[in-house]
């Protein structure tokens, strides 16, 4: 295969490609860590396109994504190829006005990429091997919090790759435990900063993770939420018609059962005080491989009761 002249390797580029190949991420199967990262980042930023990609000698290879229809593109078409030129995030409100991106084929495509925010995945040796990105098909003003969130996930990806690579057989357990704990702490910090409530449910149907916003919205402590299932009558769940909302039909249970995401599903639940609170729920499946749904994530926000929603007397 002929490599475009633009990408012919000097010493620094060869070192970057060697570092990418050493971590062994290219052409690997789907992995829970990366799928979770893009799913959570999409919930946080509300971006229609989210992906983690790596820039090889002549191609962009996408490890995990939401909202894209491809897994690989020519490197010359990759916005992320511009991102890896710097350690700083690339923030683009409108690619049609960006000197390095205005002529990109994806800007002129039928389903274009117009707004883009990408942070480089930088290994400890300084090699920028890829990027964590969010994008939209129309002009969009990214917030400072969006930039921080994308950059944080990019750092998490870099550390995850290095922990995995450096976990040699002699001290594999020690390195992995330390690295995974660090990643859990970072993900926990990200979840704790969100205004939306989050619960994660295992395939048994029991909640095993939540965040402070969920506790505030539901009026319950973490201990009162952990281990509960959708069928628990203490939720007092109702539909907008005022009828009981069976646990098996809750959005997160549908996602666990079918793997299909649910969007903006209204539900009324009871706080321990007896106060009724209305929420809208979005769900996403989490898979350990490409076939089996093992967990589900629900993100919800408190909303005012709308006209026509029935409050039981």
pLDDT tens sequence across 163-219: 877 663 345 555 556 666 665 666 666 676 688 999 999 888 899 989 999 999 999
Q: Which of 21, 153, 135, 148 is closest to 82 using CA atoms?
A: 135
pLDDT at 27: 94
**Mean pLDDT, residues 27-37:** 92
pLDDT of residue 9 exceeding 70, the answer is no
Core vs surface per residue 155-165: b (16+ CB within 10 A) or e? ebbbbbbbbbe
State both tokens at 96: 């049609």
Q: How many residues does the chain have?
A: 313
- Give the per-residue pLDDT at 213: 93
Phi–psi pair at 48, nearest 5 degrees: -70, -25
Burial class (CB in 10 A: 0-12, 13-18, 19+), 90: buried
Q: Summarize pLDDT for 247-305 with one digit per residue, the tens.
A: 999 999 999 999 999 999 999 999 999 999 999 999 999 886 666 788 899 999 999 99
Q: Both tokens of residue 69?
A: 């229809």
* Tens of pLDDT, residues 69-107: 899 999 999 999 999 999 999 999 999 999 999 999 999
CA–CA gap between residue 280 and residue 198 (Å, rounded): 12
Residue 67 clears pLDDT 70, i.e. is over it: yes
Q: What's 63-84 look like in SS3?
A: EEEECCCCCEEEHHHCCHHHHC
pLDDT value at residue 2: 41
**For residues 210-237, average pLDDT:** 93
For the record, the structure tokens of 147 come out as: 């930039």
Q: Are 51 and 65 in contact (CB under 8 A)?
A: yes
Report the SS3 class of residue 54: strand
% the chain with pLDDT above 90: 75
C-alpha 273/C-alpha 271 separation (Å) is 5
Q: How many angstroms separate the CA atoms of 282 and 119, rounded?
A: 26
Q: How confident is the model at residue 56 (pLDDT cuts 50, 70, 90)?
A: very high
Q: What is the mean pLDDT of the chain?
A: 89
Confidence (pLDDT) at 293: 84
What domains can you pick out in the chain, each with its CATH number? Answer: 5-192 (3.30.450.40), 197-303 (3.30.450.20)
Q: Hey, what are 301's tokens?
A: 């926000």
Q: How confident is the model at residue 11 (pLDDT cuts 50, 70, 90)?
A: confident
Higher-pLDDT residue of 6 and 73 is 73
pLDDT of residue 204: 85
pLDDT value of residue 170: 45
Percent of the chain with pLDDT over 70: 87
Checking 278-282 for CB contacts under 8 A at 24+ apart, the result is: 278/302, 278/303, 278/304, 278/305, 278/306, 278/309, 279/197, 279/217, 279/303, 281/251, 281/252, 282/43, 282/251
Beta-bridge mates of residue 269: 277
Which whole number is the average pLDDT over 142-151? Answer: 96
- In the chain, alpha helices (H): 11-23, 32-45, 80-83, 144-166, 172-192, 212-218, 222-225, 251-258
């Amino acid at each position: 295969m002929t490599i475009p002249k633009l990408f012919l390797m000097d010493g620094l580029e060869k070192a970057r490609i060697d570092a990418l190949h050493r971590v062994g991420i290219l052409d690997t199967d789907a992995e829970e860590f990366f799928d979770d990262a893009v799913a959570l980042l999409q919930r946080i930023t509300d971006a229609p396109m989210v992906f983690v990609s790596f820039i090889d000698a002549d191609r962009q290879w996408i490890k995990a994504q939401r909202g894209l229809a491809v897994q690989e593109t020519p490197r010359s078409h990759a916005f992320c190829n511009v991102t890896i030129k710097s350690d700083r995030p690339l923030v683009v409100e409108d690619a049609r006005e960006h000197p390095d991106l205005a002529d990109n084929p994806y800007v002129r495509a039928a389903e274009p990429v117009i707004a883009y925010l990408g942070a480089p995945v930088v290994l400890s040796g300084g090699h920028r091997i890829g990027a964590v990105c969010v994008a939209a098909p129309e002009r969009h003003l990214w917030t400072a919090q969006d930039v921080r969130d994308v950059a944080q996930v990019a750092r998490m990806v870099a550390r995850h790759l290095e922990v995995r690579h450096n976990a040699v057989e002699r001290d594999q357990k020690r390195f992995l435990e330390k690295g995974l704990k660090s990643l859990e702490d970072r993900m926990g910090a990200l979840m704790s900063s969100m205004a939306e409530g989050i619960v994660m449910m295992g395939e048994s149907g029991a909640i095993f993770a939540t965040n402070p916003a969920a506790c505030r919205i539901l009026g319950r402590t973490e201990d009162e939420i952990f281990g509960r299932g959708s069928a628990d009558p203490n939720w007092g769940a109702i539909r907008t018609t005022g009828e009981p909302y069976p646990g098996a039909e809750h959005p997160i249970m549908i996602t666990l059962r079918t793997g299909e995401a649910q969007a903006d599903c209204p539900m009324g639940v009871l706080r321990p005080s007896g106060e009724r609170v209305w929420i809208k729920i979005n769900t996403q499946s989490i898979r350990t491989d490409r076939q089996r749904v093992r967990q589900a994530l629900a993100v919800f926000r408190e909303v005012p009761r709308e006209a026509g929603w029935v409050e039981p007397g």
